[in-house]
């Protein structure tokens, strides 16, 4: 008797049939298990792909939100800097206006001082002014530290001298003062110690 690979003889048909049926049953049992494993692997792979895609989308959305937040913060910072610059500009404008006002006030004060120091063109006095004061004409008048000061000119020598309430080198002093907004009516009474006489502006 010749042995086969399964230990059965070729002369036993029933044994061969049983062996064939056994092999077929094992094959049919093994195939579904292999097919199930392949399905599980595919499902896991698909789940992994979906997870990766969802994670990528979430990360992109998160990154976009962070970038948007940063851009918004930068915009707010730029807006605050612009507001600060505008405030500085307004402050500088106010300081400029104040400086202009101070300059105008200083100019007005200077003009007022110049008005107090009145200088006018003079001519020869009228013929009825005689004596020691006949050749003197009033050149200007001002207030210096609350004191009246006049300048008179000798029309013969063109000498100008300052006269106050105290006697000067020529012994002239102011005896009376009759100020007037109209220079033609302004009059100063001066004295040389022995005589008094008026001096006026002349036009």
pLDDT, one tens digit per residue, over 100-141 is 888 888 887 776 655 554 444 344 444 444 467 888 999 988
Do 173 and 96 lie in one domain? The reply is no
Do 112 and 133 lie in one domain? The reply is no
Rounded CA-CA distance 140/122 in Å is 10
Task: Report yes or no: 146 and 158 within 8 Å, Cβ to Cβ.
Answer: no
Do 96 and 150 lie in one domain? The reply is no
Do 93 and 169 lie in one domain? The reply is no
Do 108 and 122 lie in one domain? The reply is no
Q: Residue 115: its pLDDT value, please?
A: 59
Rounded CA-CA distance 40/47 in Å is 10
Higher pLDDT, 31 or 154: 154
Do 61 and 147 lie in one domain? The reply is no
Final residue before a domain boundary, out of 97, 116, 135: 116
Q: Residue 3: its pLDDT value, please?
A: 46
The answer, yes or no, to whether residue 94 has pLDDT greater than 70, is yes
Least confident of 19-28, 40-49, 54-63, 98-107: 19-28
CA atoms within 13 A on the CB side of 187: 8
The answer, yes or no, to whether residue 70 has pLDDT greater than 60, is yes
The answer, yes or no, to whether residue 21 has pLDDT greater than 80, is no
Residue 1 in any domain: the answer is no
Range of the domain at 189: 118-200
Residues 6 or more apart in contact with residue 160 via CB below 8 angstroms: 139, 151, 152, 153, 154
Q: How confident is the model at residue 19 (pLDDT cuts 50, 70, 90)?
A: low
Residue 5 in any domain: the answer is no
Do 20 and 107 lie in one domain? The reply is yes
Residue 79 in any domain: the answer is yes
Return the C-alpha torsion angle 120, 135, 174, 114, nearest 10: 10
Residue 3 in any domain: the answer is no
Residue 102 in any domain: the answer is yes
The answer, yes or no, to whether residue 1 has pLDDT greater than 60, is no
């Amino acid at each position: 008797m010749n042995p086969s690979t399964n230990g059965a003889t070729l002369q036993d048909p029933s044994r061969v049939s049983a062996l064939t049926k056994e092999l077929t049953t094992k094959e049919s049992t093994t195939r579904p298990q292999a097919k199930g494993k392949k399905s599980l692997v595919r499902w896991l792979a698909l789940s992994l792909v979906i997870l990766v895609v969802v994670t990528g989308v979430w990360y992109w959305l998160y990154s976009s939100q962070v970038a948007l937040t940063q851009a918004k913060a930068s915009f707010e910072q730029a807006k605050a800097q612009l507001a600060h610059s505008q405030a500085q500009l307004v402050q500088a404008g106010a300081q400029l206006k104040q400086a202009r006002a101070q300059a105008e006030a200083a100019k007005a004060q200077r003009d007022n001082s110049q008005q107090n120091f009145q200088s006018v063109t003079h001519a020869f006095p009228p013929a009825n002014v005689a004596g020691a004061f006949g050749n003197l004409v009033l050149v200007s008048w001002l207030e210096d530290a609350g004191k009246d000061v006049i300048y008179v000119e000798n029309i013969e020598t063109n000498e100008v001298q300052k006269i106050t309430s105290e006697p000067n080198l020529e012994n002239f002093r102011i005896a009376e003062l009759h100020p007037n907004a109209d220079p033609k009516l302004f009059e100063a009474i001066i004295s040389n110690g022995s005589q008094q006489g008026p001096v006026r502006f002349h036009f």
